Copies of this chain bind each other. A is one copy, B any other.
Amino acid sequence: MSAPNPSETGLTFEQVRSVSPALERYTQDAIMGNLWKRPELSPRDRSIITVSALIARNQTIGMPHYFNLALDNGVKPAEISEIVTHLAFYAGWSNAFFAVAVLKDIFAQRGIGTDHLPPVSPELLPINEQAEEQRAAAVQASTGGIVPGLEKFTTELLFKNLWLRPGLTPRDRSLGTISALIANGQSAQIPFHLNKAMDNGLTEAQASEAVTHLAFYAGWPNAFSAVPVVKSVFESRKTKAA
């Protein structure tokens, strides 16, 4: 029911079988029959994680199937639109444009017009001024002010704008962000965003299962490289809470 139906990715199961009967079987049994049915994450969460990983890695071959599956799993068109916009910043502008190239046709096929999409300038969520001041100060301290342009855009575009757009909950926005980071092996940026994700409501069990899920979509090495970083975040939060 869920996950890689190659017939919607430009590949049929028969085509996969014509190169590797074993790969077809792993896809059907391990991914569709097992991974997506594990209760640790909802199918909707798995869809957010998967499409974020595909966008972050330019995996256009899987996008038609997984964008459709995400819509079927309850991710709203407006939420997918926000994920693409969000990952322009967190994975690179062209990554978002590759996703647009696929999604425009899916939205057209499903009759999803701009009236279903988030407006350009919605009323923003209220900002947590104290947390934002701490974030900006921490960045300033660590960068030593050597990249003023980057600091400025980060504050104005990302934390005082993008992250406050109401079309995607902060928790789901965080889930997409850490999925993109893990999928691209960007360990150094995981601690800040995993902490933010957990502050936004992501549980330890969900974060753990996201790593497991991403092993299939971004490869075992990216999953294993994330583990020590995730572990140290879990531990540091327990220490603080104690």
Tell me if B22 and A85 are in contact (CB < 8 A). Answer: yes
Query: Shortest beta-carbon distance, A204 to chain B, in Å?
Result: 8
Neighbouring B residues of A21 by C-beta, 8 Å: 114, 117-120
Neighbouring B residues of A117 by C-beta, 8 Å: 19-21
Neighbouring B residues of A228 by C-beta, 8 Å: 142-143
Neighbouring B residues of A107 by C-beta, 8 Å: 18-19
Tell me if B147 and A227 are in contact (CB < 8 A). Answer: yes
Neighbouring B residues of A218 by C-beta, 8 Å: 92
Tell me if A62 and B19 are in contact (CB < 8 A). Answer: no
Query: Shortest beta-carbon distance, A8 to chain B, in Å?
Result: 12
- Copy tally for this chain in the complex stands at 3
* Stretch of A68-76, A127-135, A184-192, A195-203 with 4 or more beta carbons under 8 angstroms from chain B: A184-192
Could you say which of B84, B90, B113 contacts A20, with CB atoms under 8 Å apart?
B84
Verify if A136 is at the interface (C-beta below 8 Å from B). Answer: no
Nearest B-chain residue to A215, judged by Cβ = B150
Neighbouring B residues of A101 by C-beta, 8 Å: 10-11, 15, 61
Query: Shortest beta-carbon distance, A68 to chain B, in Å?
Result: 14
Neighbouring B residues of A169 by C-beta, 8 Å: none
Tell me if B61 and A231 are in contact (CB < 8 A). Answer: no
Neighbouring B residues of A100 by C-beta, 8 Å: 11, 15-16, 19-20, 23
| A positions within 8 Å CB-CB of B | 4, 6, 9-11, 15-27, 30-31, 35, 38, 40, 54, 57-59, 61-62, 81-82, 84-85, 88-101, 103-104, 107-108, 113-114, 117-121, 142-144, 146-150, 153-154, 157-158, 165, 180-181, 184-186, 188-189, 204, 208-209, 211-213, 215-225, 227-228, 230-231, 234
4 A-B pairs closest in CB distance: A149-B212, A59-B94, A92-B219, A189-B221
